[in-house]
Amino acid sequence: MADASEVWVYAEQHNGKLHDVSLELVSRGRGLADDLGTQLSAVLLGSDVTPLAQRLIAQGCQKVYVANDSALQTYTTLPYTRTIVSLAEKHKPQIILFGASHLGRDLAPRVASQLKTGLTADCTDLRIGSYVDPKTKEEKHNLLQQIRPAFGGNIIATIVSPNHRPQMATVREGVMKLSEPDSTRKGEIISVPVDLDGTDMILEIIEQHTTPKTVDLKGARIIVAGGFGVGSKDTFELVRQLAGTLGGEVGASRAAVDAGFISRDHQVGQTGTTVRPKLYIACGISGAIQHQAGMAESGTIVAINSDPQAPIFSVAHYGIVGDLNEVIPTLIKAYKSK
Amino acid sequence: MPFDCIVLVKQVPDTKRITGKAMKEDGTVNRSALPAIFNPEDLNALEMALSIRDSYGGRVTVLTMGPPPAAQVLREALYRGADEVALVTDRAFAVADTFATSYTLAKAIDKCGHYDIILCGRQAIDGDTAQVGPQVAGRLNIPQITYVESLELSPTAITVCREIEGGDEKVKCPLPALITVVDSANDPRPPRVKRLMQFKKAKTPTEIGRSMGMMTPNDWSENAEWQQAVKSADARGLLIPEWGASQIDADVTQCGFTGSPTRVVNVDSVTLTATEHKTVDPTEAGLRSLLAELATKHTLD
């Protein structure tokens, strides 16, 4: 029997700006809600954040629950958990989705624990499907299939919460595609009362430092990425030069970032950014699964590596076995002189 | 002022070092061929606890939930300086998702008595969820601080520097609290030779039974020789306790598979598949033809 309860997306915002991952989740959530024949709602917490609700409606929400309170201005775990838990207990959504951001990975498990329900982290796909209990052979339909890598990315698991509600999942930024918003869409904005306990406000934020992102990997159509094989921060200049020549963005593997060749903002992979450029050129990247997870859906993959056995060659459309110190300058020369 | 720390650690397969040996013919990973290691970020958590003890005094207790071989990570904790360890183990705890795991660990923590700080690594390299820390904190109804890079302590509060998106923040929180530690927080100290020599003989009751050639608790629990060996190990400070469901007063229906709201339906191995694959000569001619092909497909202008 169809479940009329809603699909929810937690709408993360910082300083009055919605996090991209929440908009991506609304895009996907719209499809899930349609499959289930139910409504998609967003849950928005903050201080004076009601103006953001219309953007969520334009993205595909039929409803936005807005909880405004000065105590919610900056995220801390307990007040946000309490607010979402009491909202969920009242309205009983069948699904709640969170972005797997730093905030989401702090908040979602605590909310799930309080709601005594299951949570699957870092899903790479979400679908509606059926499940047969292997012991009782009981069939359940219209469950949220939570698909995710595990074991360092070496396996893909499909997980369901057959008997507990809400079904909860987190998804990393860039994994779900952002659909086109429609500013003519209409929806309901519901102001919810915020009822916090003194015991929720025990964490004191003394200071925060954030540096705005200088790199837009997600939006890049061409990415030239360097790995540990580049060898040094100085040699990384070659990667930058090739990116500049082709009009692309500079990416990096985790190993290159950890080695100090380039900053973490440039990291592509399971713990970095997931990217889908038209062209991805991997220079001196071995191609560990965790890296592949972040770029395997690129339109065309070109790999340059001196090791013919490097795993990257298995996913590359074009493989160049050679020394990047020679190949990159030659490539730049060939491009410029055509 | 001393602080009592409880560190939650996990034994995990070494998923970051998949070499040719662990790969099967079909391109999938042979999980059982991977060596078992101390979860890397749990080592950072242990290091943080030991540093707290170095600076302020107090006790460091290390707990792990796992099958009998997980005793190895407890020995490794002893080598590095842990004061007390316990293996939380029972068939009833097996196949637990993070919700059931957090229940079991919370009950084990209750058994430990007083604590000021609970520390764990941000996430384990097999499950990769980062959920157990926050869910244990939720069960214990204590505040949590995740992504911790460094901390300072006063008698009743902890001040930490933690990672947030695009930067970091400094927060202060009353104790008791649970923190999850990231790998950039510190460089874990190696085992100390003297403690290694001393504690490599530390064993669980199960290990003692198996070393005597017996297989299951049914075989050894009534065995006088085993009972004597356990007593003797305990007297020498070389007994690693095993805590089962009854020792931690756990409701078995909330543990393991039965206590898990999530179910794994399907597991597919990720195979490194060959796509349409062309080899390009690393010569100028080869690279020119690559560029021409990319231009034809409008991948490059």
Q: What is the mean pLDDT of each run of 10 residues along chain A (338 residues)?
A: 82 95 97 97 97 97 97 96 97 97 96 97 94 91 91 80 97 90 96 91 93 85 95 95 95 91 88 87 89 86 93 90 95 89
Domain check: are A25 and A151 in the same one?
Answer: yes
Task: Tell which residue, A221, A242, A232, has the closest CA to residue A327.
Answer: A242
Q: Which pLDDT score is estimated for B275?
A: 59
User: Which of B141, B262, B300 to mutate: most A Cβ within 10 Å?
Assistant: B262
Contacts of A14 in chain B (CB under 8 A): 165
Q: Which pLDDT score is estimated for A1?
A: 44
Q: Which pLDDT score is estimated for A3?
A: 64
The residues in B 264-293 lying below 8 A from A, measured between CB atoms, are 264-270, 272-284, 286-288, 290-292
Assess if residue A213 is contained within a domain.
no
Instruction: Indicate left, alpha or beta for B55 from its phi (over 0: left) and psi (-120 to 50: alpha).
Output: alpha
Closest-CA residue of chain B to A248: B300
User: Which of B21, B31, B270 to mutate: most A Cβ within 10 Å?
Assistant: B270
Secondary structure letter of residue A60 according to DSSP: T
Domain check: are A146 and A245 in the same one?
Answer: no
Range of the domain at B158: 5-202+240-254
Instruction: Express the helix, strand and coil content of chain A in percent, nearest 5 each.
Output: 35, 30, 40
Inspect the interface and report whether the beta carbons of A106 and B147 lie closer than 8 Å: yes
Domain check: are A242 and A183 in the same one?
Answer: no
The alpha-carbon gap from B147 to the nearest alpha carbon of chain A, in Å, equals 8
Assess if residue B265 is contained within a domain.
no
CATH number (domain holding residue B184): 3.40.50.620
Q: How many CB pairs under 8 A join A and B?
A: 238
Domain check: are A310 and A172 in the same one?
Answer: no
Rounded CA-CA distance B225/B228 in Å is 5
Task: Tell which residue, B183, B116, B109, has the closest CA to residue B155.
Answer: B116
Q: Which pLDDT score is estimated for B20?
A: 58
User: In this model, does residue B286 exceed pLDDT 70?
Assistant: yes
Assess if residue B301 is contained within a domain.
no
Helix axes A324-336, A236-246, angle to 10 degrees: 20
Q: Where does the pLDDT of residue B266 fall: very low under 50, low under 70, confident under 90, or very high at 90 and above?
A: confident
By the 8 A CB rule, do A283 and A225 touch? yes
Mean pLDDT rounded to a whole number for chain A: 93
Whether B113 contacts chain A with CB within 8 A: no
Q: Across the interface, which of A146, A202, A323 has its CB nearest the CB of B174?
A: A202
Q: Where does the pLDDT of residue B277 fall: very low under 50, low under 70, confident under 90, or very high at 90 and above?
A: confident
Range of the domain at A140: 7-201
Secondary structure letter of residue A268 according to DSSP: B
Whether A338 contacts chain B with CB within 8 A: yes
CATH number (domain holding residue A241): 3.40.50.1220
Q: How does pLDDT run across B48-80, given as a tens digit for each residue?
A: 999 999 999 999 999 999 999 999 999 999 999
Q: Which pLDDT score is estimated for B83?
A: 98
Omega into B35 within 30° of 0, i.e. cis?
no
Query: Residues of B181-206 as b/e, b for ≥16 C-beta within 10 angstroms?
Result: bbbebbebeebeeeeeeebeebbbbb
Assess if residue A78 is contained within a domain.
yes
Assess if residue B21 is contained within a domain.
yes
Contacts of B105 in chain A (CB under 8 A): none
Q: Amino acid identity, residue A75?
A: Y
Inspect the interface and report whether the beta carbons of A112 and B28 lie closer than 8 Å: no
Contacts of A300 in chain B (CB under 8 A): 294, 297, 299
By the 8 A CB rule, do A148 and A171 touch? no
Whether B173 contacts chain A with CB within 8 A: yes
Q: Please give the structure tokens belonging to residue B179.
A: 């923190």
Assess if residue B298 is contained within a domain.
no
Q: Please give the structure tokens belonging to residue B89.
A: 């183990």
Whether A330 contacts chain B with CB within 8 A: yes
Q: Which pLDDT score is estimated for B185?
A: 95
Whether B138 contacts chain A with CB within 8 A: yes
Domain check: are A144 and A78 in the same one?
Answer: yes
Rounded CA-CA distance B163/A208 in Å is 10
Contacts of B148 in chain A (CB under 8 A): none
Q: Across the interface, which of A113, A213, A246 has its CB nearest the CB of B135?
A: A113
Rounded CA-CA distance A71/A94 in Å is 28
Task: Tell which residue, A12, A38, A37, has the closest CA to residue A25.
Answer: A12
> Coil, helix or strand for A98?
strand
Return the HEC string of chain B: CCCCEEEEECEEECCCCCCHHHECCCCCECHHHCCEEECHHHHHHHHHHHHHHHHHCCCEEEEEECCHHHHHHHHHHHHHCCCEEEEECCHHHCCCCHHHHHHHHHHHHHHHCCCCEEEEECCCCCCCCCCHHHHHHHHHCCCEEEEEEEEEECCCEEEEEEEECCEEEEEEEECCEEEEECHHHCCCCCCCHHHHHHHCCCECHHHHHHHCCCCCHHHHCCCHHHHHHHHHHHHCCCECCEECCCCCCCCHHHCCCCCCCCEEEEEEECCCCCCCCEECCCCHHHHHHHHHHHHHCCCCC
Whether A204 contacts chain B with CB within 8 A: yes
- Structural domains of chain A, count: 2
For range B276-289, the mean pLDDT: 90
By the 8 A CB rule, do A100 and A171 touch? yes
Assess if residue B213 is contained within a domain.
no
Q: Where does the pLDDT of residue B23 fall: very low under 50, low under 70, confident under 90, or very high at 90 and above?
A: low
Q: Which pLDDT score is estimated for A274?
A: 84
Q: Please give the structure tokens belonging to residue A129.
A: 């499907």
Domain check: are A21 and A160 in the same one?
Answer: yes
Domain check: are A16 and A94 in the same one?
Answer: yes
Q: Which pLDDT score is estimated for A321?
A: 95
Assess if residue A256 is contained within a domain.
yes
Contacts of B281 in chain A (CB under 8 A): 320
User: In this model, does residue B30 exceed pLDDT 80?
Assistant: no
For range B213-225, the mean pLDDT: 92
Q: Across the interface, which of A114, A151, A158 has its CB nearest the CB of B126?
A: A151
Assess if residue B278 is contained within a domain.
no
Q: Where does the pLDDT of residue B81 fall: very low under 50, low under 70, confident under 90, or very high at 90 and above?
A: very high
- Structural domains of chain B, count: 1
Contacts of A131 in chain B (CB under 8 A): 263, 265
Q: How far is CA B172 from CA A88, A154, A196, in A?
A: 29, 38, 19
H/E stretch holding A23: helix A20-36
Task: Tell which residue, A302, A291, A315, has the closest CA to residue B272.
Answer: A315
Assess if residue A206 is contained within a domain.
no
Q: How much is the pTM?
A: 0.88
Poorest-confidence range of A229-233, A294-298, B10-14, B258-262? A294-298
Q: Which pLDDT score is estimated for B26?
A: 60
Assess if residue A211 is contained within a domain.
no
